[in-house]
């Protein structure tokens, strides 16, 4: 390396080894891992869950969990080895020289402190120069919030986190991260919980600030589309090792490692992979789900909130109908009314031709034999105290299905249908990966022979390769068992891949509806066009078209 390169190198990681556990239980997370980052450079770490991305980012900032430790190598920031510093010295560096933007803004902001006190706290923790007065701290906090595009910053200072949207909370965290002008920022999946339009805005704010301040960024993500939109270089990680480290366009046009090629194949839009609508053409059939004029109103008078307004659509049997839109658009409220977990204010819900709008008690119990829901987060939907077998057989026991032996046989069949080995029946969900847990949730939903599933953001917590595996499973189950899906999502890539028809929701209303290929290919609504324009992966799509 030339002296010029040495002068511009900010972060230099050499032969880094990290392992978890001790003795026979040692598991290596990174073995002789090397990475360099120049001043002002944005590098994306991509890979599936468990690839070592978060371990590497936590090692840089000195926040590895107790079970992990660095067993070799160096991490140098502007020539200073961070691994040789005491905890007190590291604490003085965090926030001041190295900033961090976490994944979940809801969990990262203190719910009992105002936004103003949390923004100004960084100046109290890292005092630079003369002590600032309250008025000066307030003025600087307002400037920072305005810098990241928070509207009415003076007003926001007095608000609490629960009064802010997810996008606003993430802007606050970005303001805090940039407050002291750090040389290096680590962003750990900072937009994965946001819908596409908010995500695009936050990424623009973040990257513009990084470029303006000359801040180097390590951007951790499992979304290759996002990585290609914002990064100078992409570092592909798998099983604790770096498989590729090259400029974005070089990796996209000529991936050198098979794992990179596989990530690209799943992230790149491909019209040939979308569902074949012709397979379902023919004589009209009774819809699996049909809703007419659905309304949901909360409150009265001035406090009235119309969550869903006049929504009508039908899910053709054996197909997937997707509802897309931003957070708060009414997608999940509609899904809960379809499931009869919420009562509609007006309108009707029919399942396979039967009006279930007013079912109660045992009527709902009968309904849920054939209509089941798969939730967003399998961690909260599955009881960690129970084994896989107990979880999958719970509906069978509740509905007094067969003998104990017959239930055990049914569990074995269900696990096989979702491609889980029978040996997993005795495991707890803590011993499974995120994808395996979601397969268990799907198996449980199918236990009583349900033919219609409502999937509410069921893939949003999974990395791109695991998403692809679950999508393939859902498609196989649909073909082999004639299942119908109402698919709720804000991920347009996933919707394009799996759905035959799509409805676009905004502020409680359906603004566009039709075959997915038609809606995505020639949107009629300005809002649909906005969603599509906000969808990450612009360079990926450009290269795919070329």
pLDDT of 130 higher than 80: no
| Model pLDDT, residue 302 | 79
Residue 18: pLDDT over 80: yes
Percent of the chain past pLDDT 70, that is, above it, reads 93
Other beta carbons within 10 angstroms of residue 429's beta carbon come to: 20
Task: List where CATH 3.40.50.300 sits in the chain.
Answer: 12-22+30-267, 285-383+450-545
Whether the pTM exceeds 0.85: the reply is no
CB burial string 49-87: b at 16+ within 10 A, e below: bbbbbbbbbbbbbbebeeebebeebebbbeeeebeebee
Q: Which segment of 29-38, 212-221, 354-363, 401-410 scores lowest on mean pLDDT?
A: 29-38
- Once rounded to an integer, what is the mean pLDDT over residues 356-383? 88
- The pLDDT-based confidence of 480 (bands split at 50, 70, 90) is confident
Mind listing the pLDDT tens digit for each residue in 47-65? 887 788 888 999 999 888 8
| Residues 492 and 481: beta-carbon distance below 8 Å | no
DSSP assignment of 385-442, as one string?
A: TSBHHHHHHHHHHHTT-S-HHHHHHHHHHHHHHTT--GGGGGSBGGGS-HHHHHHHHH
Q: Report pLDDT for 384.
A: 85
pLDDT band at 546 (very low <50, low <70, confident <90, very high): low
Mean pLDDT of 167-173: 90
Give the model's pLDDT for residue 278: 42
Is 272's pLDDT higher than 60? no
> What was the pLDDT predicted at 277?
46
The CATH homologous superfamily to which domain 285-383+450-545 belongs is P-loop containing nucleotide triphosphate hydrolases (3.40.50.300)
pLDDT tier for residue 527 given thresholds of 50, 70 and 90: very high
User: Is the pLDDT at 113 greater than 80, yes or no?
Assistant: yes
pLDDT tens, 301-354?
878 889 999 999 999 999 999 999 988 889 989 999 999 999 999 999 999 999
Asked if residue 158 has pLDDT above 80, the reply is yes
Q: Note every long-range contact of 466-473, with CB atoms under 8 Å and residues 24 or more positions apart, other chains counting.
A: 466/48, 466/49, 466/433, 466/434, 466/435, 466/438, 467/266, 467/494, 468/266, 469/435, 470/435, 470/438, 470/439, 470/442, 471/497, 471/498, 473/418, 473/419, 473/439, 473/442
pLDDT higher than threshold 90 for residue 251: yes
Two structure tokens written together for 312: 């009508």
Length of the chain (residues): 546
pLDDT digits (tens, 9 = 90+) for 285-302: 899 999 999 999 988 887
On whether the CB atoms of residues 308 and 330 are closer than 8 A, the answer is: yes
Residue 280, pLDDT score: 46
Tokens 């075959």 correspond to what residue? 515
How high is the pLDDT of residue 223?
83
Average pLDDT over the chain, rounded to an integer? 88
Percentage above 90 pLDDT, the chain: 53
Q: Sorting pLDDT into bands at 50, 70 and 90, what band is 279?
A: very low
Indicate the pLDDT class of residue 452, thresholds 50, 70 and 90. Answer: very high
**Rounded alpha-carbon distances, angstroms, from residue 89 to 59, 62, 71, 85, 489:** 15, 11, 20, 6, 44
Assigned CATH topology for domain 12-22+30-267: Rossmann fold (3.40.50)
Q: Say what the pLDDT of residue 5 is.
A: 60
- At 224, is the pLDDT very low, low, confident or very high (cuts 50, 70, 90)? confident
């Amino acid at each position: 390396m030339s002296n010029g390169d040495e002068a511009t190198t900010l972060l230099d990681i050499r032969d880094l080894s990290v392992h978890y556990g001790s003795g026979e239980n040692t598991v290596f997370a990174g073995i002789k891992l090397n990475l360099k980052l120049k001043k002002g450079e944005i590098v994306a770490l991509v890979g599936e869950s468990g690839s070592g991305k978060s371990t590497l980012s936590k090692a840089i900032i000195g926040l590895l969990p107790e079970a992990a430790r660095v067993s070799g190598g160096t991490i140098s920031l502007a020539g200073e080895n961070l691994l040789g510093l005491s905890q007190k010295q590291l604490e003085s560096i965090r926030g001041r020289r190295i900033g961090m933007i976490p994944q979940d803004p809801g969990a990262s902001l203190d719910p009992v402190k105002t936004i103003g006190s949390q923004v100004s706290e960084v100046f109290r923790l890292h005092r630079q120069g003369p002590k600032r007065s309250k008025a000066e701290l307030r003025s600087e906090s307002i400037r920072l919030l305005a810098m990241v595009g928070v509207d009415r910053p003076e007003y926001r200072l007095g608000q609490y986190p629960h009064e802010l949207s997810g996008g606003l909370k993430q802007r606050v965290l970005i303001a805090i991260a940039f407050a002291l002008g750090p040389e290096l920022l680590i962003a750990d999946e900072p937009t994965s919980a946001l819908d596409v339009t908010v995500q695009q805005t936050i990424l623009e704010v973040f990257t513009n600030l990084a470029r303006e301040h000359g801040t180097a960024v390590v951007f951790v993500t499992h979304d290759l589309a996002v990585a290609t939109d914002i990064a100078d270089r992409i570092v592909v990680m798998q099983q604790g090792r770096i498989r590729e480290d090259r400029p974005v366009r070089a990796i996209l046009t000529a991936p050198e490692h098979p794992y990179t090629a596989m990530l690209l194949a799943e992230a790149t839009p491909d019209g040939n992979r979308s569902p074949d609508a012709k397979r379902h053409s023919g004589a009209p059939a009774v819809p699996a789900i049909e809703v007419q004029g659905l309304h949901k109103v909360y409150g009265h008078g001035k406090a009235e909130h119309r969550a869903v307004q006049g929504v009508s659509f039908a899910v053709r049997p054996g197909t997937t109908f997707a509802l897309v839109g931003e957070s708060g658009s009414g997608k999940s409220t509609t899904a809960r009314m379809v499931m009869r977990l919420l009562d509609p204010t007006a309108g009707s819900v029919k399942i396979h031709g039967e009006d279930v709008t007013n079912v109660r008690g045992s009527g709902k119990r009968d309904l849920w034999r054939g209509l089941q829901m798969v939730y967003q987060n399998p961690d909260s939907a599955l009881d960690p105290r129970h084994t896989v077998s107990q979880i999958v057989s719970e509906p069978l026991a509740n509905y007094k299905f067969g003998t104990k032996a017959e239930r055990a046989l049914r569990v074995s069949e269900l696990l096989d249908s979702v491609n889980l080995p029978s040996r997993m029946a005795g495991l707890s969900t803590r011993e499974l990966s995120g994808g395996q847990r979601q397969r268990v949730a799907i198996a449980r939903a199918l236990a009583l022979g349900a033919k219609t599933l409502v999937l509410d953001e069921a893939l949003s917590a999974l990395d791109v390769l695991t998403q692809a595996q679950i999508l393939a499973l859902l498609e196989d189950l649909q073909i082999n068992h004639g299942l119908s899906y109402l698919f709720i999502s804000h991920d347009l890539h996933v919707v394009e891949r799996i759905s035959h028809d799509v409805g676009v929701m905004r502020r409680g209303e359906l603004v566009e509806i039709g075959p997915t290929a038609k809606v995505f290919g020639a949107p009629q609504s300005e809002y649909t066009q906005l969603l599509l324009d906000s969808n990450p992966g612009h360079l990926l799509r450009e290269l795919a078209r070329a």
